[in-house]
Amino acid sequence: MKYFIQVSLITYIASMLVYTLWSSITFATLDKGWIGSLVYLPHGCRVIFYCFFGARSLPALYAAEITGPTLVWGDQYLDYWTFASISSLLSVVVAVEIVKWSRVSTFNYNILKKVNFANYKFLIFVIIISALFNSIFTNLVLSIINGVNIGVEVIARFFIGDMLGSIVFITFLMILFNLLQQKRLYKVHED
């Protein structure tokens, strides 16, 4: 697998930075009923890195899913989240395959290409489908392991959080890459 180490390092470091940012927002809103989970930024990392780097990003994404909560939450980290993390990553993989299979949008990405609506559609569909699968299946895994019923409001919070978090993360990346292009720190390929 070409560039496996580079992809793994970029994916892991960026995901940990995003997780740390998100957790600091969540810590600040714990007394307000987990408002920070309504914009779950790490889901944007899952979508972007898997869409752009494919299976090469999965080990680093899983490592970030496991070490992020351990480093940030410490003793409060739930051991069974390791299983829920697998369902979160699989939701993105399945969503990408469904969108590819449906041929609603093409999958022809390169980070250095100019972003337009044609290659935007793919990300939008993957975000929606993966957020839906993640909200249902991750809560299903957690309810089976915990033996506790998960309410519809929790599933809705996961779905909204994953969607908004992905949109915020992708918007941030678009602004960042536009600024870098204006400063001539990277060149856009017009393939």
Give how many domains the chain has, as a whole number: 1
Contact 146, 138 (CB under 8 A): no
The CATH number of whichever domain residue 94 belongs to comes to 1.10.1760
Arithmetic mean of pLDDT, 25-47? 71
Domain that includes residue 19, residue range: 4-182
Q: Please say if the pLDDT value at position 11 is more than 80.
A: yes
pTM of whole model > 0.75? yes
Residue 191 falls inside a structural domain: no
- Residue 113 phi, psi (nearest 5): -80, 155
The set of residues, in sequence order, having a beta carbon less than 8 Å from that of 177 and lying 6+ positions away, is 111, 115, 186
Residue 190 lies in a domain: no
Q: Among residues of the chain, what percentage have pLDDT more than 70? A: 76
Predicted confidence (pLDDT) per residue in 94-143, tens digit: 998 898 888 776 665 554 455 554 567 888 889 999 999 998 988 888 78
